[in-house]
Every structure is written in C-alpha cells, then in structure tokens.
Structure 1
Amino acid sequence: MRAILGVLVLLALGSCSRPQLEPVTVETQQSALLQAEVARLVTYPRFGDFDPYEWESRKPQTYPIHGIDVSRWQADIDWNAAKRAGVSFAFFKATEGGDLKDPKFDNHRLGARAAGVPWAAYHYYYFCRSAEEQARWFIRNVPRGADLPHVLDMEWTPRSKTCTKRPSGAKVRSEARKFLAILQAHYDRRPIIYTTVDFYKDTGIGQVGGTEFWLRSVAGHPSEVYPGGRWTFWQYTGTGEVPGVEGEVDINVFRGGPEAWVRWRDRIGG
C-alpha cells in the first residue's frame, strides 16, 4: 500500500509541475483565421495612372485595400497577375436597364473566381423601366454565389440613345429602395449604391438608409466632395493602370484596414 501511495504522490507532483495549456476557444480560432487571411492580402499597392491627379488632401494610396471595376471595355484580364499586384476585389457590370447584359460579365466573373479574387456584379439603372423589371433582369442574369454584395449603379444618362429621363429625387429614392429590397430578398445581402457627384447632389440619394455607398470622386477625397456622405468604397480614378489589365481601368479603395476588410468581406454573400 505504501508503494502505491508513493507512486500516486509522485504522479500528483509531476502533474502539478506541468504547464497548464490555454483552452482553445472559438474566439481564438476565429482570431487565428482572421490573421491568416490578413497575411495573405497584398496591401498598399502602387498602381499606375494614365492621367494622374495631384492629390492635395488624403491620397487614395494611404488606404491599404484596393480593387477594380470592369465591363465590356476591358479585354481578357489576367486575374492571377492582378491579384498578385494587389487587386483585392472586383465589381463587374452585369446588366443595364431591362434588356441588356454585358457580354464580358460571365468571362470576368469566372476568371476572377478561378484566381480567388472576391467579386460582385453591378446593374446600370435606366429610368425608363420600373425597378421591379430591372431587378428581375439582374436576377435572371446574375447567379447566386458572389463574395460581396451586388451594386445598384445610379447616375444620370445624358448620352443614352434611348433614355435620358431625370425624375425627381423622391422618385429616384423610391425606385432605389424597391430595387434594393428585391435583390436583398433574393441574394440575402443588401446591395450597395454606386453614384456620382452630380447625381448625389441632385437627387438626395444619400438619404436612402440601410445600405452602403460606393462614391465616385476622381478629383478630391469623398469627405470634401460629398460632405457628410457615408461611403464604404471610393472610386478614385477611371484611368488606372493595373498589371493584368490591358488599358485603362477604374480603381477603388475600401474605407477600412485589412482586418476590417476581411470581416466585411466574409459576411454572408449572395
């Protein structure tokens, strides 16, 4: 019996001397995954510009996360090269009005997906068709599975050959809300609104709540051009130069840092 007690005492002393391991929690696992995703990002890319603007205030290069938006005007893109250079996201034109589909949409979408570039699609809105009709057209042509929320592109269309209507701000906001609601019900994520300086001022589109904004401003920081405006993405040039893309391309930044980007990106997509 004494021998057995001695062994038990030794075992107890040995167990007391061992370091206690911290328990692995869901929070620590999530933090590790987040840091791993952040480490894979290419931040603060130095893209070129065919017609650069001399930024006097906060420069877009001070933001770490950059991406592009493309349409039929961009030829085949080397998405692997673009990603290596620092393209962290991409938006593709998918539809226009109620009867036009961008002929390069599927090619861009599949190429970006194969290279692991997070993507979503945008719809170019015309005020000669109802919000319901245009939303149905978008849904018909854009499959579920996007990594990011889709986009409603609202701006004036003075050069259109078929529709140059300029409805009141109240009408614009009402149509926007209808379109957003239909897409949210289908894709389970609220779309973003993209717009331009004149449209924003003329229509009060910034009053639409419950959504995020992507603002175009190629000659000034959004805080100057859209005083008090909310934004998640800023399109800062339409003449950008990005590896893997032939010719000019729109370049954008995400408002937050790398960790904020990963958290935002990984919310439920469409």
Structure 2
Amino acid sequence: MRILTKFMLGLMLVLAVACSRTPTRAPSAGPGANPQLGDSRPHSWTSGSPYGQAVHGIDISRWQGNIDWNRVRGSGISFAFIKSTEGGDHVDPNFRRYWYEAAQARIPRGAYHYYYFCRSGFEQAQWFIRSVPREVGSMPPVIDLEWTNSKTCPRRPSPAEVKREASVFMDIVGRHYGQRPIIYTTVDFYRDNRLGDMRAEFWLRSVADHPRVRYPGQRWAFWQYTGTGIVPGIQGDVDLNAFAGSRSDWVRWLNTRLTR
C-alpha cells in the first residue's frame, strides 16, 4: 500500500505540474519531442513526422534488461507499456520488476498481453487477470493483436473469429480493471482482419509512414513509430511511441483512462 500511495501522490504531482505550465519551446526536430531521445536508424518522414508530437513513451519487455527508470523519466518519457503475458501460460520474467520500478519513478504504466490464436479469448483474459495487479492509477490494459511466427501456434483464424475472441478478452478484462483495453496492432493484421469496426482505442504500429497513410480513416491514441529508439537509461534499441494529442490532451486522457 505504501508503494501505491507514493505512486499516486507522485502521479498527481506530475499531472498538476503538466496542467499548470505551457511548454516554453516547440519540440526539437529529431527523433522525439525531447532532444534527449534518439533513433539508431532514423526514418525520413514524408507524410507527417512523429517528432512534432508533444508526448512520447516506450514499450518494453524482458529484452530491455536493467533499466534506470529515473533517467528514463528525466529524458522526457511520459508513459510505458510493459509486456505482462502471452497466450494462456506465460508471464514476461521482468514484468513484476518493471511494474514496480516504473511506479517508483512515477511513470504512468500499463500492461500489454501478447495474444495467441491457439487459446480462447476467455482463457487468455483469465490468465491476464491472474498475472496483472489491478492497481489504482494504472493505464488501461492492452491486447496486442498481430500475426505470430510461433511454431507452436501457426493458426491464422478468420477475421470473424479473431474479432469475436478478441472481444471476449476485452469484455472480461475491461470489466475487471474498469477500463476497456486498448488494441495494439500492425498494418497487415489490421488490414487482413478489418479491425476498424472494433470498439476500442487503437495503438498503431507504423514505422515507415504516418498512420493516416497506413490506416486510412482510423483514429488512434498511440503511434509506435520506431523499434530502434534510443532512450537514456535503457541499453540498446527500444520501441518509441507518440500520443495523439497535446500535453493538455495527455493530462485529460490520463484523468479519464486511469484505473480507479
């Protein structure tokens, strides 16, 4: 309880500061709104760049190893999506540690589930709930929908089955955490399964062009724009993401979408 109280007090301070001040300079021209962020393989954006977005974050899994979360926060990172579970029987070995450390650094964080097509949505929802704490102040859960290259699960079900089972997962998980999950997806999976008619906020992967080009007409809350980001406090490449709105929009989004 003391850890959670510290996290909530810190998050409230972050929100209060963000609401009370306006950035004094425009985002720098580079890989991210903050000049401390970088990209080991920067892309030449032609249809709209993520660098002008005001709010940036990371998504991580065990492959990021030891993380200096205070340096991450100091570099301008505003949120973290942390891999928690996969299928119906796997937990990322670093999830609990990252979950605790991000909270200690007062970085808003949420858990994401890597969905497998050889388990039902019900089974995977139950596994996620058993593995991820329901904590006040957490960001909404995420369901990661993409084609897998798993030798143990090579299935590619029909769009109708994909959306039906994903909706089961989202309904169960949404009721438990009090926030409907965000859908993370890729260009090919979105297209193959016609995901645009699903009821959810979207987190879209688009590393070669703006989401409005790769996902015509689709609104999005988060944009994963590179897998080769550079963030102080993290060794090696890391995924970087942009939030769709301004800093004020970000504060409003947090006030609406955090678990209560």
Determine if the TM-score, normalized by the shorter chain, exceeds 0.5: yes
Residue 237 of structure 2 corresponds to 248
Residue 248 of structure 2 corresponds to 259
Residue 192 of structure 2 corresponds to 202
Residue 232 of structure 1 corresponds to 221
Name the CA distance, whole Å, in 1 between partners of 2:193 and 2:141: 21
Per the normalisation by structure 1, the TM-score is: 0.84
Question: What SS does structure 2 have at the residue aligned with 1:266?
Answer: helix
Name the CA distance, whole Å, in 2 between partners of 1:35 and 1:258: 12
Residue 19 of structure 1 corresponds to none
Name the CA distance, whole Å, in 1 between partners of 2:80 and 2:195: 24
Residue 183 of structure 2 corresponds to 193
Residue 206 of structure 2 corresponds to 217
TM superposition shift of 1:147: 2.2
What percent of counterpart residues are identical?
54
Residue 38 of structure 1 corresponds to 19
Name the CA distance, whole Å, in 2 between partners of 1:122 and 1:86: 22
Between structure 1 and structure 2, the one with the greater Rg is 1
Name the CA distance, whole Å, in 2 between partners of 1:89 and 1:74: 16
Provide Cα deviations, 1:101-129, integer angstroms capped at 9, x if missing partner.
00010111111000000000000000100
RMSD after superposition: 1.8
Name the CA distance, whole Å, in 2 between partners of 1:81 and 1:112: 11
Name the CA distance, whole Å, in 1 between partners of 2:54 and 2:169: 31
Q: 1:127 aligns with which of 117, 123, 142?
A: 117
Provide Cα deviations, 1:55-107, integer angstroms capped at 9, x if missing partner.
11211111000000000110111111011111000000000000000001011
- 2:73 paired with 1:83: yes
**Equivalent pair of 2:221/2:244 in contact (CA under 8 Å):** yes
Residue 60 of structure 1 corresponds to 50
Aligned residue pairs total: 237
- 2:82 paired with 1:101: no
**Equivalent pair of 1:125/1:134 in contact (CA under 8 Å):** yes
**Equivalent pair of 1:147/1:266 in contact (CA under 8 Å):** no
Structure 1, unmatched stretches of 5+, are 1-32
**Equivalent pair of 1:41/1:88 in contact (CA under 8 Å):** no
- Shift in CA distance, 203/268, structure 1 to aligned 2, threshold 3 Å: closer
Runs of at least 4 residues off by over 3 Å: 38-43
